Copies of this chain bind each other. A is one copy, B any other.
Amino acid sequence: MASVFPLADLKASVKPDSRPGSRSDSSPASWVDTIIKGDCVSALEALPSHSVDIIFADPPYNLQLGGTLHRPDQSLVDAVDDEWDQFASFEAYDAFTRAWLLACRRVLKPTGSIWVIGSYHNIFRVGATLQDLNFWILNDIIWRKTNPMPNFKGRRFQNAHETMIWASPSAKAKGYTFNYDALKAANDDVQMRSDWLFPICNGAERLKGEDGKKAHPTQKPEALLARVIMASTKPGDIVLDPFFGSGTTGAVAKRLGRHFVGIEREQDYIDAASARIAAVEPLGKAELTVMTGKKAEVRVAFNVLVESRLIKPGQVLTDAKRRYSAIVRADGTVASGGEAGSIHRLGAKVQGLDACNGWTFWHFEDGQSLRPIDDLRSVIRSDLAKAE
């Protein structure tokens, strides 16, 4: 795990027609669970198309900080106070952003999604570029820091958050993973909001060099990555991080039973990340089972209830308040007045609505009480479960 994969070897090893490791693939490609050493864009271009499930990117923010300014290639911009050069530097940053995002798009599956984190120095340029490239923004997520650095000069508000953008590769790409039900259940049964509260990475979690100094300047907290990965991937998915740094993405992905691919230029970071990831113990299957809702359940159609005699032809169904009633027919349709149709269509029609979920609208008599016909599907489902 976490072996280092030199870019040259990768180029030699990847077969153009090879399908990469996916959810159902038991033998993942050789570049999976490795750190690729090299430039972000070149490394991305060496990976197969549509091969990763999500991308988490923490690109450089180094924009107009202090008196010096670095270009994406790390060369120094000398005259920051020159108006033209400032404009040029934004252009350079935009070109860099465009290049790596384009390379990411090719590597990302159509059913995938991308996360990018940044601060006000760069996130507006990243967001605009994402839109220009026809990525489709799903949410912007605010990481609220419990313990941000104070503003020392007292000339601004304390900069207490960072922004993440979550996007799918296009407006029409709706196949992205979002574990809504698990997130809601984990959040005390209310849906997860777009503002998240986490401490910054400090203490034992923070990687230190031999000199005791922090190994990486912007190491992200594992809790943040854990929520990102739990929200938008399934176990076995491949998570790509094109700015791998200290390897938080890889460490959390491994712990959570996902595959990772990291891209990183600097050998020191690669060494630190490799050792870190090697020490991670993955969780077992039981712990990684993701809670799903009704959408993921086996489909049981209404006629199955009729055929199995849980509902009998001629039986009367009503709504919860007994304002409307309908008669069940042997073919699995229901009729009321002169109208007939599916439980959904008829439910909509009697209420004068465009749509209706017949499963929760229609009820049947059960002794003294009324129960939704949806309750009967669980009977069928438990029989199906025993049959397996």
Which one of B193, B308, B383 lies within 8 Å of A157 (CB-CB)?
B193
For A9-25 the 0/1 string (1 means CB < 8 A from B) is 00000000000000000
Could you tell me if A182 and B331 are in contact, using CB atoms closer than 8 angstroms?
yes
How many angstroms between the C-alpha atoms of A182 and B330 in the bound complex? 10
Could you tell me if B313 and A148 are in contact, using CB atoms closer than 8 angstroms?
no
Chain B residues with CB under 8 A of A159: 139, 194
Which one of B74, B155, B290, B307 lies within 8 Å of A356 (CB-CB)?
B74
For A190-218 the 0/1 string (1 means CB < 8 A from B) is 01111101110000000000000000000
Chain B residues with CB under 8 A of A184: 154, 342
Could you tell me if A331 and B146 are in contact, using CB atoms closer than 8 angstroms?
no
Question: How would you classify the secondary structure of chain A's contact residues: helix, strand, loop or mixed?
Answer: mixed
Could you tell me if A182 and B332 are in contact, using CB atoms closer than 8 angstroms?
yes
Could you tell me if B303 and A186 are in contact, using CB atoms closer than 8 angstroms?
yes
Could you tell me if A144 and B387 are in contact, using CB atoms closer than 8 angstroms?
yes
List the number of copies, as a whole number: 2
Could you tell me if B127 and A154 are in contact, using CB atoms closer than 8 angstroms?
no
Q: Does A124 contact B (CB under 8 A)?
A: yes
Q: A124-B124, A302-B186, A332-B185 are in contact. Are A355 and B289 (CB under 8 A)?
A: no
- A residues bordering B, Cβ < 8 Å? 64, 70, 74, 83, 86-87, 90, 119-121, 123-128, 130-132, 134, 137-142, 144-148, 150-151, 154-161, 163, 165-166, 171, 174, 178-189, 191-195, 197-199, 222-223, 226-227, 230-231, 256-257, 283-284, 286-291, 293, 299, 301-304, 306-309, 313-314, 327-333, 335, 340-345, 353-356, 383-384, 386-387
17 residue pairs A–B, Cβ–Cβ below 8 Å: A74-B355, A87-B132, A90-B132, A138-B156, A139-B156, A142-B144, A148-B193, A155-B178, A157-B194, A158-B193, A187-B302, A188-B302, A189-B342, A284-B314, A286-B327, A289-B329, A289-B335
